[in-house]
């Protein structure tokens, strides 16, 4: 006899409490397999295809395309056959759906109409959000979970399909893990720490998104109200946390970039792949961080420790139709200008196409912000928490400049460094910025340090 099972919107990680249905991938009557993606949802982090933990026939769908649902709200129901006839499942029963948010929460619908059996007939097109198949972001530093004997029977305490997929892809037996979450819940960090047990700790820990309860704002008599949600909401939360926690300071300097521009022109005239200006600035950044490692660090507020990081994962600001994102170039310190150019181009294209994965948007240790593309000279940017510094680069424009004792027209750029005053003092920050400026003015300085 068939049994009808209800699949609810799971906890997708990163502290998220709701998601918007963008596109249904199945309809009522379709046969689905275990872990087959059934719906595409948009969170504040990415576009995510959600897999169903049950195999069988879809009997109902809940929610139209454009509807925002809380974690724990029903997504669909599946009729599964008798145990002997069922396909083999993933072995990881989803436990605890609905414990984080009530399913009866009001649903907000932007477009579309509902058809029979809860089928969505809306036509809302998928936006250019980062799209992923629940790939795991950079790991968070936590003590490795203890290994325990597998229970004889009963469900595995796992909520997130991201955790199940990560464990399945890496051959981790969830029944042998002791979860560090509430009531023994197995978290993503538990799986990641099990994978790296016996190896060196990761370079950095991504702090969870903190969603503070907003204060009630007085009703305006007139005006347009725009929900602070999705990417814009996530950015607002992160920037607010940076301002609350980081005592930042900014220093800046004007530099003559004429020789750097000439060097780039000569490199590109020699044949081979073209080298971008951003790649040259990134190469200068990594060399400067090697001399001033204090700025490639993070602060562990609970332990009251500064954690200096051994590797440079360089974030860079990229403007997209959905807002500002910061893709991350992994191990930027090991790359030459040609490799950096190629990786910047790949990540920028993915950002504009909306195909960046969460792993490509997290784990940065230092950010390079080229706001000169907006036609401005200077800025005092907010540090990308939990990093310790950000280098800003303004536009490069012809300006009067004293060169070799003579007044001349030179290509001038303003450089700014915003830094966490907890990790270093002004002398270190000034030394870093002066070295960067020297490399911009005389690229041979960089060659002498390689």
Q: Is the dihedral of CA 96, 98, 99, 100 positive or negative?
A: positive
Q: Is 14 helix (H, G, I), strand (E, B) or coil?
A: coil
H/E segment holding residue 269: helix 258-269
Distance of CA 360 to the CA centre of its chain: 6
DSSP letter at 276? Answer: P
CB atoms within 10 A of CB 427: 8
CB atoms within 10 A of CB 76: 27
- The answer to whether the beta carbons of residues 429 and 437 sit under 8 Å apart is no
Let me know how long the chain is: 450
DSSP letter at 357? Answer: -
Give whole-number Cα distances, 213 to 18, 98, 135, in Å.
Answer: 15, 20, 29
Q: Is 116 exposed, middle or buried (0-12, 13-18, 19+ CB in 10 A)?
A: exposed
The residue annotated as part of the active site, out of 237, 313, 425, 438, is 425
438 is catalytic: no
- The answer to whether the beta carbons of residues 379 and 369 sit under 8 Å apart is yes
CB atoms within 10 A of CB 223: 7
Angle of the 258-269 helix axis to the 277-291 helix axis, nearest 10: 120
Beta strands in 30-120 (DSSP E): 31-32, 36-42, 47-52, 56-61, 67-70, 74-80, 108-109
Angle at 285 between CA 328 and CA 263, to 5 degrees: 115
425 is catalytic: yes
The residue annotated as part of the active site, out of 35, 403, 421, 438, is 421
Would you please indicate which residues are annotated as catalytic (active-site) residues? Answer: 421, 425
């Amino acid at each position: 006899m068939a049994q009808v099972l209800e699949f609810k919107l799971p906890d997708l990680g990163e502290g998220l409490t709701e998601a918007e249905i963008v596109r249904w991938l199945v309809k009522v009557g379709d046969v689905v397999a275990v872990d087959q993606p059934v719906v595409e949802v948009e969170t504040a982090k990415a576009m995510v295809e959600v897999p169903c933990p049950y195999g069988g026939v879809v009997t109902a769908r809940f929610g139209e395309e454009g509807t925002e649902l809380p974690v724990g709200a029903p997504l669909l129901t599946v009729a599964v056959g008798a145990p002997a006839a069922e396909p083999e499942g993933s072995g990881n029963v989803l436990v605890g759906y609905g414990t984080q948010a009530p399913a009866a929460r009001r649903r907000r619908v932007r477009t579309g109409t509902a058809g029979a059996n809860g089928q969505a007939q809306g036509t809302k097109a998928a936006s250019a959000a980062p799209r992923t198949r629940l790939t795991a972001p950079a790991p968070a530093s936590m003590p490795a979970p203890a290994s325990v004997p597998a229970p004889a029977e009963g469900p595995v305490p796992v909520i997130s399909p991201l955790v199940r997929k990560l464990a399945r892809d890496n051959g981790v037996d969830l029944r042998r893990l002791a979860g560090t979450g509430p009531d023994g819940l197995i978290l993503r960090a538990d799986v990641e720490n099990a994978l790296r047990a016996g190896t060196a700790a990761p370079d950095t820990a991504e702090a969870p998104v903190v969603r503070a309860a907003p204060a009630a704002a007085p009703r305006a008599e007139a005006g347009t109200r725009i929900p602070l949600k999705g990417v814009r909401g996530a950015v607002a939360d992160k920037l607010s946390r940076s301002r609350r926690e980081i005592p930042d300071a900014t220093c800046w300097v004007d530099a003559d970039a004429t020789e750097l521009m000439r060097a780039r022109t000569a490199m590109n005239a020699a044949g081979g792949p073209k080298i971008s200006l951003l790649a040259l600035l990134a190469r200068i950044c990594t060399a400067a961080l090697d001399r001033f490692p204090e700025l490639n660090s993070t602060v562990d507020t609970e332990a009251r420790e500064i954690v200096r990081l051994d590797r440079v994962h360089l974030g860079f600001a990229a403007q997209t139709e959905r807002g500002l994102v910061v893709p991350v170039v992994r191990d930027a310190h090991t790359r030459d200008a040609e490799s950096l150019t190629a990786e910047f181009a790949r990540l920028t294209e993915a950002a504009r196409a909306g195909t960046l994965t969460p792993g490509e948007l997290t784990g940065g240790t230092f950010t390079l912000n080229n706001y000169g593309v907006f036609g401005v000279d200077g800025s005092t940017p907010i540090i990308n928490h939990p990093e310790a510094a950000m280098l800003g680069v303004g536009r490069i424009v012809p300006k009067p400049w004293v060169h070799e004792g003579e007044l001349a027209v030179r290509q001038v750029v303003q450089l700014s460094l915003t830094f966490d005053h907890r990790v270093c003092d002004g002398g270190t920050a000034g030394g870093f910025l002066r070295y960067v400026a020297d490399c911009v003015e005389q690229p041979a300085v960089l060659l002498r340090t390689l």
